Amino acid sequence: MEREQIIRLARAKYVATGITNNITEALAMYLNNDATEDEKIPLFISSPEIYGIKEALKKNRPKCEECNSDLQMKENTRDFTGKKYATAWICKCGRIEYSDKTVKEWLEILRENRQQNI
């Protein structure tokens, strides 16, 4: 699949629905949740950081404390008061944990497989 097509799908699923207004985040979420192996290739070529996160999350994805589901990373986000955070972990049950750690910092933590309280 072409990169443009994947961007359209990611936008439809994550931007149009209001989950994020950032296409980079939408792509990262699409990559984590929906992309097939074929779709990942054109995305990987253009985004080594997303590739790194994806690989790290495969090995050590944080789980939700409430429901034990896999958490999804969100970048450059705000809480309901408008306070900005570098990252957040979101769960399908609705739980959100905001963090000041950047994607790069999380990447290191996940790669080192450190125990980490989110």
Per CB under 5 A, which region of 30-38, 73-81, 84-92, 98-106 contacts Zn ion?
84-92
Which CB, 33 or 69, lies closer to Zn ion? 69
Amino acid identity for residue 81 in this structure: T
- Residue 63 binds Zn ion, judged by CB under 5 A: no
* Burial grade of 57 (CB within 10 A; 0-12, 13-18, 19 or more): buried
Which CB, 64 or 107, lies closer to Zn ion? 64
Q: Which residues contact 51 (CB under 8 A, 6 or more apart)?
A: 43, 44
Q: Which of 57, 91, 107, 110 binds Zn ion (CB under 5 A)?
A: 91
- Residue 93 binds Zn ion, judged by CB under 5 A: yes
What DSSP string describes 67-94? T-PBPEEEEEEE-TT--EEEEEEE-TTS
Q: Binding residues for Zn ion, per CB under 5 A? A: 64, 66-67, 69, 91, 93, 95
